[in-house]
């Protein structure tokens, strides 16, 4: 028995079960680093949705549909998970997703940024489960984003010491 705790699949095993492969850790494109560790917190810089097979460029929803933008948010978060794994050696060392900050390259009258960012948030809950993966969040519309991408995500993660 496990003392009454239910048997929860590890994040690494969940990625395999979901058929997801994390991308290569991207090189920082400026005067910053991908992640800073302070105590038991990882502060991850904003990540863009890099995918060699798809482009996620343009304003939501006039150039990029909400569904495409959700896929972009999910892809950006996969890149952030790669950074976490690179830093820690395993996603299983994550004890809590604390917060997510999401930016959507939006048309001026677009107001569904939270719907777009569900693509990133839902992935975290799928991989880490409700207890670890549910987080606070900010979803902001932006006039422009780096490289004209449709979505950028950053996050704060608590890890085992």
Compute the distance between CA of residue 46 and CA of residue 149 in angstroms, rounded to an integer. 12
Is the bond leading into 61 cis (omega within 30 degrees of zero)? yes
Residue 5 reports pLDDT greater than 50: no
Instruction: Give kind and range of the element (H or E) at residue 18.
Output: helix 11-18
Catalogue all structural domains in the chain, each as residue range(s) with its CATH number: 11-20+34-159 (3.30.1330.40)
Which run of H or of E encompasses 154?
strand 151-159
What confidence category does residue 7 fall into, taking pLDDT thresholds of 50, 70 and 90?
A: low
Over the stretch 21-75, which tens digit does the pLDDT of each residue have? 999 998 888 999 999 999 999 999 999 999 888 999 999 999 999 999 999 999 9
99-132 pLDDT, tens digit each:
999 999 999 999 999 999 999 999 999 999 999 9
């Amino acid at each position: 028995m496990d003392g009454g705790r239910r048997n929860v699949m590890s994040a690494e095993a969940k990625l395999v079960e979901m058929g997801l492969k994390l991308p290569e850790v991207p090189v920082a494109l400026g005067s910053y680093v991908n992640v800073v560790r302070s105590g038991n917190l990882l502060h991850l810089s904003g990540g863009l949705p890099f995918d060699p097979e798809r482009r996620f460029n343009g304003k939501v929803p006039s150039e990029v549909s909400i569904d495409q933008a959700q896929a972009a948010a999910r892809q950006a978060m996969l890149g952030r998970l790669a950074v976490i794994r690179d830093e820690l050696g395993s996603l299983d060392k994550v004890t809590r997703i604390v917060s997510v900050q999401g930016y959507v390259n939006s048309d001026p009258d677009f107001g569904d940024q939270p719907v777009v960012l569900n693509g990133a948030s839902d992935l975290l809950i799928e991989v880490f489960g409700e207890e670890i993966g549910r987080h606070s969040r900010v979803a902001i519309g932006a006039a422009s984003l780096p490289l004209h991408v449709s979505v950028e995500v950053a996050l704060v993660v608590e890890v085992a010491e």
